[in-house]
Amino acid sequence: MSLITTLARMEAVREGRAQPLTTVRHRHLSARPLAFVPLTTAGEAGAPLGALVGTDRDAPRLLIVAQPRDRDLRFAFLAELAEEIQPYLDSYADEVELEERKETDPETGKKVPVQVELCQDAPQLLVPSAAGVAFVRLLGRSMRFRRTAEQDPETPFPAPARVPLLGRWLTHYGERARVPGSCLLLSLTELLSRHWATGQSNLEDQHLGSLLAWIDPPEGVPGAEAALRAESERDANGQLRCPPAGPSTDPAFDNKLLAPAMSRYDAARAEASQGVAGGGARLRLAEAELRGLIESQLRPTWDALWRGVDLLRALPEGARVADRWKRDRWSYTGHRDRVRAGEPPQPKLDDAVTAAQKLAARETAQAQLEAHEALDDPLVMAGRRLAGEAFAGEVIDVEMAWSDAKVPRPRPLVTIRTEDRPHLAERVKLHRVTDDGRAQSGEFAGFADMDGADEADGADVAEGPGDAHGQGRALVVRLTGGMGRGKQPEPGTVPEKGDRVCWTLFEHAPRGGPELPDPESTPWTHGGPPDAAAPAQGPQPDPMTEEDYL
């Protein structure tokens, strides 16, 4: 945890209210997101119990599995879920714009520009918590290898139409969510804790109810107290007033309410199948009871999710968020194209090359996200400055200079007075954005003497680098780029005396990793090319495990 976050958390404790970590919103929020609040059954991984799903906060669709161990009911649930989510996912597929992209021509091997489609917007899934993201991934994994009767008439337990397709989409969204800064699938707890610091631990912040209690406590109630209530207050029946955001349920709810209701449902179902008089009515009654119970656990989370969305929408969007959202649109468009091209579902495990590519892409995305957030938001930049990774100050001197090359290049020396204490060493590379949004590079050239008048100012900070030598805190930066191509820098590209500038030690547009070999030419050190004979529809189930569906 950075120093500024620690400070914000301490302030949150003192104020009894969460403190902002940002001045803008650093994630894209769709105008019409699809909210998905799932619940799972205790004791069986990937057995859904119910869900609220929809784009209309006032009219969510409630789906339940009355008996989660019944595979037919589970499939019925997944079919309904697909009915609800798939049209939403598809609704963005056809509104496209054309983008020019460089592609390698297979005949000439040269890079040629081609026009490709890019979806104008992309569907966005919101879940309450990080565990919800993991559940989306799990659902995707359990669904994408299923076969429908249409795909394979021989399959013993055909899945309903759309279920494998939704599995592929959920897998794509779950995988995309691992890319730092991506916004196709977001959890509210992560979104909110990026933008506010509460007075509780990171672990406690994963509880949506108590997180909201810190950010937006009821009038006159301190955040800590409101959070404690959200976490643990129970009614006369011993039930939580604020049910957990799932997908796990509260054990008290499971034991006292859900299990008896499920037993009644099982009994009524048995009676109905035996044709006992009134059995059908009792079955409908028992199912209605279960629907009511499950909705009672889901609805508070549903409302909390949208409350969180309201809080986030009140923040203005960061300037570079749209750039990153465009990458999400590319990701969505790319998967749309793979589905349309009839490609098989994503494999169970990545091969060596894919894994390395994903890791490299995510590391680049992480570096880019950190740079974007700092550039978009002075409060985030303040944290980086405090950590010694950036400095801001006033230009007190500019001296023109040129490089020794045959064609001399401008290398002006800019002296900046700053209160910050960056971790600098000779020739450390520096980066900044000019007022007109262009990138400029420089390097640290040393400390400068300050005027005698400034020495007293420097004396109260005893141990700064350079202070010990009586040099004051004036840093000299040699500009190395961003001044055009000529011998003279282009007007406006060199800061002037009196300008406020902010230099960072981190790059703003980090380069991606090197090109990796094709999977077919995986080297011997990594096991050679993947087995071409492996079944295209995913690996065979484990013979030792019954029902190896995952």
Partner 1 sequence: MIGADPAAAAAHPGRARADEPFDPSAAAARATEAILHDTLHGADRGVVVDSPPGAGKSTLVVRAARELAAAGRPLMVVAQTNAQVDDLVDRLATADPDLPVGRLHSSDPHPYDPVLDGHESVRTSAKIADLAGLDIVVSTAAKWAHIKHVEPWRHAIVDEAYQMRSDALLAVAGLFERALFVGDPGQLDPFSVVGADQWAGLSYDPSASAVTTLLAHNPRLPQHRLPVSWRLPASAAPLVSHAFYPYTPFRSGTGHGERRLSFGVASDGSGPDRVLDEAAASGWGLLELPARRTPRTDPEAVAAVAQVVRRLLDRGAVAVSERSGEPQPVAADRIAVGTAHRDQAAAVRAALAGLGVSGVTVDTANRLQGREFDVTVVLHPLSGRPDATAFHLETGRLCVLASRHRQACVVVCRAGVAELLDEHPSTEPVQLGVTVKFPDGWEANHAVLAHLAEHRVAWRP
Nearer to partner 1 among residue 465 and residue 489 (C-beta): 465
Nearer to partner 1 among residue 26 and residue 162 (C-beta): 26
Tokens of 224: 């800590």
Smallest gap, in angstroms, from Cβ of residue 151 to partner 1? 27
Smallest gap, in angstroms, from Cβ of residue 349 to partner 1? 7
Smallest gap, in angstroms, from Cβ of residue 5 to partner 1? 14
Question: From the CB of residue 112, how many other CB atoms can be counted at a distance below 10 Å?
Answer: 11
Tokens of 152: 């394979």
Binding mask 166-205 for partner 1 (x = CB under 8 A): ------------x-x-------------------------
Smallest gap, in angstroms, from Cβ of residue 474 to partner 1? 16
Report the SS3 class of residue 13: helix
Q: How far apart, in Å, are the Cα atoms of 541 and each of 268, 343, 456, 546?
A: 35, 21, 75, 9
Residue 492 and residue 377: Cα distance in Å, rounded?
Answer: 23
Tokens of 522: 């995986």
**111 interacts with partner 1 by CB under 8 A:** no
**544 interacts with partner 1 by CB under 8 A:** no
Tokens of 505: 């030690």
Quote the DSSP letter at residue 25.
B
Residue 42 and residue 460: Cα distance in Å, rounded?
Answer: 60
For residue 111, the cross-strand partners are: 104
Please, are residues 379 and 20 in contact by the beta-carbon 8 Å criterion? yes
Peptide bond connecting 33 to the previous residue in cis, omega within 30 degrees of 0: no
Quote the DSSP letter at residue 159.
B
Smallest gap, in angstroms, from Cβ of residue 159 to partner 1? 25
Give the 3-state secondary structure of 207-255: CHHHHHHHHCCCCCCCHHHHHHHHHHCECCCCCECCCCCCCCCCHHHHH
Nearer to partner 1 among residue 274 and residue 525 (C-beta): 525
Matching residue, tokens 């804790």: 193
For the stretch 459-468, contacts whose Cβ atoms lie closer than 8 Å and that sit 24 or more positions apart, written own/partner, are: 464/421, 465/421, 465/424
**526 interacts with partner 1 by CB under 8 A:** yes
**517 interacts with partner 1 by CB under 8 A:** yes
Binding mask 457-496 for partner 1 (x = CB under 8 A): -----xxxxx-xx----------x----------------
Smallest gap, in angstroms, from Cβ of residue 200 to partner 1? 17
Report the SS3 class of residue 64: strand
Smallest gap, in angstroms, from Cβ of residue 427 to partner 1? 7
**279 interacts with partner 1 by CB under 8 A:** no
- Helical (H) or strand (E) element with 88: helix 71-90
Please, are residues 245 and 132 in contact by the beta-carbon 8 Å criterion? yes
Binding mask 344-383 for partner 1 (x = CB under 8 A): -----xxxxx-xx-xxx-xx-xxx----------------
Nearer to partner 1 among residue 160 and residue 180 (C-beta): 180
Nearer to partner 1 among residue 238 and residue 513 (C-beta): 513
Contacts with partner 1 by CB under 8 A: the residue count is: 43
Burial of residue 445 (number of CB atoms within 10 Å: 0-12, 13-18, 19+): buried
Site for partner 1 in 396-425 (CB under 8 A): 421, 423
Tell me which of 20, 523, 535, 539 binds partner 1, using CB under 8 A. Answer: 523
Smallest gap, in angstroms, from Cβ of residue 284 to partner 1? 44
Which stretches of the chain bind partner 1, using CB under 8 A?
178, 180, 349-353, 355-356, 358-360, 362-363, 365-367, 387-388, 421, 423, 427, 462-466, 468-469, 480, 513-517, 521-528
